[in-house]
Amino acid sequence: MPSITSDTVRPPAVAGRFYPADPDRLRDDIARLIEAVGPVRDPLAAAYIAPHAGYRHSGPVAAEVYARLAAHRGEVKRVILVGPSHHYPLRGHAAAPYAAWQTPLGQVRAAPTNVVGSSRLPHEAEHALEVQLPFLQVALGDDIEVMPVACGMSRTPDTARVIGALLEEAGEGTVLVCSTDLSHYHDRATAERVDAATAQAIRSLRPREIAAQHACGVFALRGTVAWADATGRRPRQLALGTSADTVGDPERVVGYPAFAIDFPAVAE
């Protein structure tokens, strides 16, 4: 189904809650998070996995991805964003029918796609893809273009094919960012044990072993891992953390992953 295009701008839904609404503070906060990772010399990967909680909680883990993208500023022209639909019961995949996305740092251009149809409903209140945008603006600059796609209930091979088709359509200078958090609301020790098993399933290219209750972006995540397997790429773990590492209650934590995905000779 071809996408439905629109000349509308999607306003921020979670500015002031998941990240600062003040542009100067937002830019400074992200710059500090990226600088804290330190200098990185990794080759640019084809895809990354990043968390999507409030920056106070998951920002340091997300910065592991964005520090690597920042090291390749000027090489990346477009970012495909895939992640969950938390607020709308979605089956299949839905692009966003917006010409641009607004953040406190300005507008991010959105590219249309002919791979999947589009719908506002999964995107209007969704934070999972929105919170990636300010990081992208700081890491890659104002000329970046995004292609946000929500992944609802779907078969893993179907999502893997969609991801492959999106990347082929987008062409050179494109990277994929899969947005997901991991386990929710366990005590810290349980969360670390559960998330370690999920991380092992990701590294071992075993999407069937990623349980729905262990990753809120499970359909996008399974599809990304299956796409990596089908194309000969391997995930490399950059960081694995929980909200208890920052400001969260250690009895009720959320897990956060950061991975880079590319061919073994590159990823290792």
Check which CATH number belongs to the domain holding 250 and give it.
3.40.830.10
Distance of CA 91 to the CA centre of its chain: 19
Total H helices, total E strands in the chain: 7, 11
4 within domain boundaries: no
Give the structural domain span for 73: 9-267
Q: Please state the length of the chain.
A: 268
- Of all residues in the chain, the percent with pLDDT exceeding 90 is 94
65 within domain boundaries: yes
pLDDT tens string 90-140: 999 999 999 999 999 999 999 999 999 999 999 999 999 999 999 999 999
162 within domain boundaries: yes
231 within domain boundaries: yes
Name the band, by pLDDT with cuts 50, 70 and 90, for residue 264: confident
Structure tokens at 267: 């990823």
- How much is the pLDDT for 266? 56
Name the band, by pLDDT with cuts 50, 70 and 90, for residue 4: very low
Contact call for residues 214 and 222 (beta carbons, < 8 A): no
3 within domain boundaries: no
Closest CA to 105 of 173, 28, 175, 18: 28
Q: How many independent structural domains does the chain possess?
A: 1
158 within domain boundaries: yes
Cβ atoms within 10 Å of 81's Cβ, excluding its own: 26
Mean pLDDT across the chain, nearest whole number? 95
- Write b or e for each residue in 186-203: b if 16 or more Cβ atoms lie within 10 A of its Cβ, otherwise e: bebeebbebbebbbebbe
1 within domain boundaries: no
How far is it, in rounded angstroms, from Cα 26 to Cα 38? 19
How far is it, in rounded angstroms, from Cα 144 to Cα 174? 10
* pTM of the complete model: 0.95
The SS3 call for residue 100 is strand
Distances (CA, A) of 24 to 20, 165, 187, 241: 9, 37, 35, 27
Name the band, by pLDDT with cuts 50, 70 and 90, for residue 3: very low
46 within domain boundaries: yes
Segment 9-20 mean pLDDT:
97
pLDDT tens string 42-100: 999 999 999 999 999 999 999 999 999 999 999 999 999 999 999 999 999 999 999 99
